[in-house]
Structure 1
């Protein structure tokens, strides 16, 4: 049986021969360096060296995408050739080690002196290798079971104001949101354990109203408490949420790190809501960083249950095509060995008017549709905001234009009049 290999695809830009650069990349991220060294035998290279699997040259660029002091010192000039490079890495080099996997497929590649641009575009894993890592404990099906939402998108919102509310004020807002009919509520990424509303006070206060709502209605509203912190503190925070009857915690993935999220996943059975804030620094430049497909692959190995993808026609910089592709990545199992899909979370400027574009692009109810202002700023109140989104979702599924649906849906009509045309 052939040894297992992990395959990565890169987009590179270089004034040099892309094939030569690809060999440098393979050597740098496996057993090589800029020159052959003592002990680097042919047998060792055969066993441990990364392999260039394919090179597809693309149209060149007129100017370099990024500065490169080494090439500038050498006086190297264009044309600036671009290519897709596929490299496979022996899984045995890495083992079941998520931080080292990330270091192997990314790492020093971004600093190579041969390139003026490099981006990790995709990552494919062998099925047996994937099984060595964490799986989602809750995932799409578990999130539906917990919230009691058998069909339709889960309608959620975000605590606003982002920061400043006390624990009791936060609980009062959560009580109103529960009564308004939301399925999911999350903290903002900048509100974790602040002095004005520490988790030790906020979690019991919020969960008291969530439990009271569940006792009255039978409906459990999933609240994603932001427990972003150092690892031991996150474990303590998760334990508190679990003791209080909570079902979900949120963490800022990029700042907690792969190891922190793995530890948290192994510690708790709560749903892990993965917030990607900071991802723009890794992705906005088309010739630098990491695509969402590769990014979410690494975080899914840490066992997250939900992944943020931003929203269609939203307030952030991503084009709709990237949001759509990101959601489809979440819906795609990493291998054929198991169902490890995660629930995409749509947010950023979402309201009833962005529902049709979301349904048309995704064609699935298996998502969190989170609206902050779209619910809390509705002129008739939060309950009307939630209703307007559900009305828009029903209309989109039925193929009915929002303006037509609004004739018999006053909450939707008010949303369209207040927020403007979609």
Structure 2
């Protein structure tokens, strides 16, 4: 395949074919008026093509501002293709082409990039995740038949390195697999990055010497490029295994520059995701989003969670989890990071609807606020997942295990 194909959801008051043609023209060789030099030969080689239009429902109100003088707005799935000659292997230019100015076209009262397909030769240009789902689990010493159980340091910001390392000690002794900085914590006035890394890794390395288990801690190394590199090296020097990046803040090129080092599992935090996805007919859907970050080399990527505390539906979360393991070039699968208001109770439906344990299942309050403390919270999550994988119900698991029963009473409501 010498063309890249992108799939969109659109809404427009115009004829669907005309609107799709505007999209294709704006994002390749065309503009609002014919210009000198736009020859037939140039358009045949570089112009985008509308490959398919699947008409959906009609609505009587526009989803977003645009040309709203009409009383009927048509929705459709549209596929558009470009020659790889337009951008070759320049991904920022690809992103500008697949998204870019098209969101501002007045012909559309709704437009969302849903997915895209690349030629197989992109595998030769982009390594993708260095560790991926299975490699990250191996780094943390987690059996493939169970998910990684993780948590976030809470309070999100304000704890001194000594307090953080004390909490880490409690968590790793309780059997946690993974801990991460909150995205709000990078290097604060009372918790300098280098100091925090040294104290936290001292606890982790000491526990490894005693038990053989190396708990993974994702330190938030986000910053400008020099800060990223310096923080990455600090984690390595202290024998860490993971770095967390606020990927939307850093951008594709910044993330790839760090991921290319290939020595730490990259934990991609998608804070800011709601700006890109929350509106049903504006922005980008997770399948396309995940592919861009796989190209950059992210290993772990947030997907929200079943019955989460945010706005995202269970159907959307399930699609996101499954898209992390969909075939994409020859890249390793992403490790979906399931989080947001999670506790052991959602483990049963998460496993039922995704049928995978290639997950990092994270709970903040679900661990930290457990009636028996963080230790009980870790045990409860592990009990829940073992029950789910072994075919037990939530009720059966609660009857069998004290810690999980306590979490049901605390977090389960009715």
TM-score, length-scaled by structure 1: 0.95
Correspondences of 1:2-401 after superposition (within 5 Å): 4-68=2-66, 71=67, 76-151=69-144, 152-335=146-329, 338-401=330-393
- What is the CA distance between 1:32 and its match in structure 2? 1.1
Q: Distance in 2 between matches of 1:232 and 1:326?
A: 32
Q: Contact conserved, 2:87 with 2:94, CA < 8 A, in 1?
A: yes
Q: Contact conserved, 1:388 with 1:411, CA < 8 A, in 2?
A: yes
Secondary structure of 2:324's partner? helix
Moved more, 389-398 or 281-290: 389-398
Q: Distance in 1 between matches of 2:16 and 2:115?
A: 18
What count of residue pairs does the alignment treat as equivalent? 413
Deviations 1:364-395 (A, max 9, x none): 11100001111111111222211111111121
Q: Distance in 2 between matches of 1:419 and 1:21?
A: 49
Q: Distance in 2 between matches of 1:304 and 1:134?
A: 10
Q: Distance in 1 between matches of 2:412 and 2:25?
A: 55
- What is the CA distance between 1:421 and its match in structure 2? 4.4
Q: Contact conserved, 1:238 with 1:268, CA < 8 A, in 2?
A: no
Deviations 1:225-266 (A, max 9, x none): 011111121011001000100000001111100010011112
Give unmatched runs, 5+ long, in structure 1: none
Q: Contact conserved, 2:131 with 2:332, CA < 8 A, in 1?
A: no
Deviations 1:50-100 (A, max 9, x none): 1100011111111111112xx36xxx3131111111000111111211111
Q: Contact conserved, 2:133 with 2:332, CA < 8 A, in 1?
A: no
Deviations 1:134-176 (A, max 9, x none): 4111111211221111231110000001000011111111111
Give unmatched runs, 5+ long, in structure 2: none
Secondary structure of 2:80's partner? strand
Structure 1: 4+ residue segments shifted above 3 A: none
User: Aligned Cα RMSD in Å?
Assistant: 1.3
